[in-house]
Amino acid sequence: MKKIVVLLSMSLILNAFNPQIILHRTKTVQAAVNDPAKDIIRRGWFAADEYDRNAVATRADVVKIIMRMATNLPDPSKKVLDFADTTNHVDKVFILKARYYGVLEGGKLNRFYPDRPITRQELVILLERVFNLPDTIDFDNHIAKDIVKTGDGESYFAINKYLAHKIVAVDGAGNFRPNASITMGEIAVIAENMVGVGIRNLVPVKYEGQEQEQKILEPR
């Protein structure tokens, strides 16, 4: 496998959102006894009063959860440039921490769109940017029918890697549905699967600043 270096940029996936989408949350409920979120709440990754298994997860929701999961990441040691649309956001501290470590970028408009639904593709990209699972995957044979390598291939590699590790899954037709939204309940299952592959032993990103480089594997 030949290693290549990819510059991480949140602007690569900003255009996947439909600006007309409006998020509707249902009433917050406690996790059921058999809900994977029960263990995730115990770990402190979800807050019980924030969790509704049927609610569509937003970009801010996911960044907050991932930053809570990345317990090895210390808080920023210097002031972080705010996004134009997160100045007064309730989850600002988590969003700016992710930006500090180069996980997020606002693009030319310096906007994050925190309350828009996050897509399945974006979720996997953010997880991989932070936790960087081992590159022990044969990328010659992609698992999902609807995943195509485009641009620098960041989403292609991340999705195939997480499918191979059985952290995420395809539907009955063999599709990953990268642009579909995802519920908090589904994210709870994914977070639990991350524990199953040893998330506590993984090393999150450690670089400061607005940009970061990450090594991934190129197809043979």
Question: pLDDT: is 121 or 132 the higher one?
Answer: 121
Q: What is the structure's pLDDT at 5?
A: 35
Query: What average pLDDT does range 20-24 have in this prediction?
Result: 35
Question: pLDDT: is 187 or 205 the higher one?
Answer: 187
Q: How confident is the model at residue 116 (pLDDT cuts 50, 70, 90)?
A: very high
* Average per-residue pLDDT for the chain: 75
Question: pLDDT: is 193 or 181 the higher one?
Answer: 181
Q: What is the structure's pLDDT at 25?
A: 40
DSSP 76: P
Amino acid at 66: I
Distance CA 66, CA 167 (A): 15
Q: What is the structure's pLDDT at 77?
A: 82
Question: pLDDT: is 89 or 149 the higher one?
Answer: 89
Q: What is the structure's pLDDT at 184?
A: 93
Q: How confident is the model at residue 188 (pLDDT cuts 50, 70, 90)?
A: very high
Question: pLDDT: is 104 or 13 the higher one?
Answer: 104
Phi and psi, residue 181, nearest 5°: -75, 175
Closest CA to 124 of 178, 60, 170, 164: 178
The DSSP bridge pattern shows strands 213-217 and 3-7 to be antiparallel
Q: How confident is the model at residue 150 (pLDDT cuts 50, 70, 90)?
A: confident
